[in-house]
């Protein structure tokens, strides 16, 4: 994966892949119905990551002028998953194109888990 680099009269501008990943992660978590980003499957369990690790649930492939994004998300229980995924695709595409000038050719959404609200209540009682 190469960084995005533009040349101007004053020098060059480089956008690191991690920056594109953070933009994608932030844009995805803004979508109602997405509980968080998933760190992937470790031993069959998806780890939900907080806002400071947003790039961890995102895989980015950046070319000269195009980008392809893979999002690994956890959705809230009760949402219509295809609708949430579509809104995430749209929001991520819009954010990356607006902030970087890259053309987003695909945003693949991988639903890694479902977040149940009662889990938080049970965890707080145990502590």
Question: Roughly what angle, to the nearest 10 degrees, separates helices 81-100 and 17-29?
Answer: 140
Beta strands (DSSP E) in the chain are 4-8, 11-15, 34-42, 45-49, 58-62, 66-76, 103-115
62: helix, coil or strand? strand
CA atoms within 13 A on the CB side of 1: 15
Q: What total of structural domains would you count in the chain?
A: 1
Question: What does each of the 127 residues of the chain score in pLDDT, given as a tens digit?
Answer: 456 566 678 888 778 899 999 999 999 999 999 999 987 654 344 555 555 566 789 999 998 889 999 999 999 999 999 999 999 999 999 999 999 999 999 999 999 999 998 755 556 566 5
pLDDT at 2: 53
Q: Which domain holds residue 18?
A: 4-126
Q: Using alpha carbons, select from 76, 33, 29, 74 the residue that is nearest to residue 54.
A: 29
> For position 88, which CATH number holds?
3.30.70.1350
């Amino acid at each position: 994966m190469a960084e995005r680099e533009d040349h101007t009269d004053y020098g060059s501008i480089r956008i690191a892949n991690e920056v594109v990943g953070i933009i994608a992660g932030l844009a995805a978590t803004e979508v109602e119905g997405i509980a968080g980003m998933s760190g992937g499957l470790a031993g069959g369990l998806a780890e939900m990551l907080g806002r400071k690790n947003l790039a961890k649930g995102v895989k980015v492939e950046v070319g000269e002028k195009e980008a392809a994004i893979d999002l690994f998300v956890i959705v809230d229980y009760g949402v219509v998953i295809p609708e949430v995924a579509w809104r995430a695709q749209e929001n991520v595409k819009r954010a990356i194109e607006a902030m970087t000038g890259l053309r987003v050719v695909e945003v693949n959404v991988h639903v890694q888990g479902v977040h149940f609200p009662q889990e938080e209540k049970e965890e707080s009682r145990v502590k």
